[in-house]
Structure 1
């Protein structure tokens, strides 16, 4: 489920979670034009103690929204940098229906982050969502590919970094193919949380 295919890992280097974060910082410094984040899991396991998610799961939507706004404000320097550097900053979010409780929670977050300047595009892919995998593409010089392990919920355990031309081109092509299936903003953000 959501495992990267062999072609994506050709020439890639395995990373711990800490190594993934370091590689992100290094690649981010080199971005000149485009940063693309592809997300496909329908539920992710957030870090322990994410208060906004806890509030949402308790049905406290106003509190969840306020906490999500605080969390997003913590990323304001990133959005300021994106604007200053005139970067395209896009989240390509794959969805399937019915929406999971996690995605309904994230829709509140996405609305806030869109206000801060993040471009969020929703895709209903032609194949089952489970056939895709999460990755970050920095221009076409670096890709970070997430590893969420074998579980049913995305909980990142590390990943891979690649600078190899073939996989980078195929990842860019995959993103372009997915963008051919863009859909309007999904309805269903402000509903009661469910399991």
Structure 2
């Protein structure tokens, strides 16, 4: 058994050399902007080509890694830094870490980018720039409806700030194109940067 696993690793190393470059691809945007849907679409395409890929879903991170954190500015910052740390760790080990996480504050996102730059790990910031009017109609998790009914406060982009990235590596207007087109635009950028 051990020798088979060893042989498999050797085959992977030799046969898929071009796929060992890791990177963090952070998709920021409002709730229901389409971040996670685009991330999973891209993940499928990258996996089909032999890339090692992990999607760090914001809801799962909140449940397992950031349990106990609330939604204050400080807690949101801590959450984003934790996710950034895990993403950089994965990326520095050859994994494409796709991160569909709101990360509403520019300083939090900048800190994550700086961590990657310090470590020499590729980092791509994608703004899924879906207008709040479209997000509230999609309302995938029912957050906008709860906020409108007074059952929820602190909703990013409604009654809590969302600081749009001023110079993202890519801006996707998911309301004007299909999920496949959005993922293809991101894939094209990764290809251009030698990451796909």
Q: Quick check: which one's helix share is greater?
A: 2
Larger Rg: 2
Q: Which of the two has greater strand per residue? A: 1
